Structure formats: structure tokens, C-alpha cells
A and B are shown apart, each in its own frame.
Chain A
Amino acid sequence: MRHAFLRPIVLALALAMTACGNDTSTTPTTTTGPTSEIFEGQLQGPGGSQFFSFTVGTAGNASITLASVTTAATPGTSINVPLGLGLGQPLGTDCNLTQQTTTGPGLAPQLTASNLSPAIYCVKVFDVGNLAVPVNFAVRITHT
């Protein structure tokens, strides 16, 4: 056969074609974890309150930490004044609380909620009768 010398080339090509396959690329999987939001504000004094709304995108847990209470007069210096801390859902111009506690500032969550359905929720910070002067506060909300 005159063209017999082509056989090894054909063989190599065939091997090359069969050896290569599965070039399929895979899209990287992205997992979204809980997100944290910071709610900072000021209570003006006795009877003061503020609330902050946030959206739970997927069903899951939420934790709320009243992390900081400082006097407006000495920024940076913490004071251990117990405040009301609540979780609920916006209703009209207020936050309709479904659970609440009274707590001083800390770095571990003081309120937790399990299996929240996707919806809009709110966290409220309010005076429970301890405030004599304006205070600044910061709350960390971790949710899905």
C-alpha cells in the first residue's frame, strides 16, 4: 500500500481525539452565608426608641447583639445601661415586637430567632426607664 505510511499519523490523530474529551467547564458553586448589618443610632433620653428594618432573603436564623452603648458626652467610652432590645415586623410607623429582652451591651447575641421566613423584620432599641441622658448605641444583626 502506497499510503501505508499515513497509518501512524492517522493512529496518532485518533488517539489524540479519543484522549481528549470532557472539556466541559463547571461553574463554581457560590454559597451565601448569613449577612451582618449594623444598626447605629441615638436615644435622646427617657422614653426614647429607634428601630431598623432588614430583609430576610431566605429562611433561616437571626441573631441580634446590642454591642455598644456610649454616652454622647464621652464618645468612645462605654456605659453599662440596660436597654430594651426587640425583634418584630414593621407595622405602620412602628416595629411590632414578637420577642424582646432587656440587656446591657455585650459581644454575644442577646436575642436569637429560629426559622425566620423570608420577609421584612425590624429590630427596636428602646429605653426601659434607665436613661437620664442621650446615649449612642450599636446593634449587630446577623441574618440569612
Chain B
Amino acid sequence: MRFILQFQKVSQGFHNKGFFTGRMTRLPLLGLAIALLCTACGNDTSTPTAPTPPPAGPGTETMNAVMAPGGTAVRTFTASAAGTVTVALNGTSPTTVVGLGIGIPGGAFGGCDMTATVNTSGGPGAPQITAPVGAGDFCAGTFDLGTVASGGVVVSVTIVHP
């Protein structure tokens, strides 16, 4: 604002002195001044910021997958705090008894080192697994017990975690 006032005052002074006698002649100067300001200033906020990871929090993870014979269907999740995790096998199609487990990501069968497992075909009684956990990364899912037919089995798993 102060600049504009000063600039108007200076321009007015020129006008009075007869250097610039028309409105049209003052406009290019004003434009030049503004252009100088705009081009000289830019990128003043060059403070880089580290990317912010999405906040972890309580959640529900649902996995629907086709599990092949001898295979696994595992999903990883993060517990944001200590609490209780439930794992439910909602159902299998065709109805098949499979292994349902929870553990930590690792190099074991299916990439999940199982802590607790049950054999179930899902449905009534869900959640079949309830486990206290600390904060951290975990995994849960199903694995074949040798019961899955050649066409595979559709599994639906729901994980609720802190």
C-alpha cells in the first residue's frame, strides 16, 4: 500500500512537471513496476517439507480373495496403539474349512509368521480370533489345510484393529 501511495505521488509529481501528460503514458510505468515486483519475488517459500505419512489409526480391513490350492490369502495391517484385534472369516465359497490366522509379517508360509490360528469355514462364530496386540505391523489371513479344491475358494476376511 505504501508503495502504491509513493508511486502515485511520484507519478503525480511527474505529471505536474509535464513529463507525462496523459493517463496512458503512466500506465506502462505502473505495469513495469508491478512486473518487476512480480518477477523479482517468487519462491520465497523454499522451505522443503518432509512428506507426511498418512496417519495410522483404528480401522477395519476387509479382504475378499480367491485362495488357490496350497495357497494363502494374507493381508497386512498396522495397529496404531496397543489394543485388541479381531479376525473374522465371514465365509468361504464353496464352503471349505481353511486355516485362519494372525501374526507378524515375516518369511514364513504366506509371508506371515502365525501367532494364533484356527480351522474354520467361516460364518457363525465370527470373529474366530481375538488377540491383544502392541502397536506395530501385523498380518492376518487364510491358508489351505489341504482342503481347497482345484478351482480355489473364495474367502472373505474382516480385520478390526486399534
Contact = CB atoms under 8 A, between A and B. Distances in A.
A94 B96 CA distance: 46
B114 to A, nearest CB: 5
Most buried by B among A26, A27, A28, A78: A78
B114 A40 contact: no
Nearest to B30: A8
B113 A38 contact: yes
B117 A107 contact: no
B136 A140 contact: yes
A138 B104 contact: yes
Interface residues of B, number: 50
B24 interface: no
B115 A78 contact: yes
A68 interface: yes
A107 B138 contact: yes
B65 interface: no
Interface in B128-162: 131-134, 136-138, 143
B92 interface: no
A107 B10 contact: no
B144 to A, nearest CB: 9
A125 interface: no
B19 A9 contact: no
A23 B106 contact: no
Interface string A18-33: 0110111111111000
A30 B49 CA distance: 10
Interface of B: 3, 6-7, 10-11, 14, 17, 19-20, 29, 32-33, 36-37, 40-41, 43-44, 46-50, 72, 82, 85, 99, 101-110, 113-117, 131-134, 136-138, 143
29 contacts: A8-B11, A8-B29, A8-B33, A9-B29, A9-B33, A11-B33, A12-B37, A13-B36, A23-B46, A30-B50, A38-B104, A38-B113, A40-B106, A65-B104, A67-B106, A67-B113, A68-B115, A76-B117, A77-B99, A78-B103, A105-B116, A106-B115, A107-B102, A107-B115, A107-B133, A108-B82, A109-B134, A140-B104, A140-B136
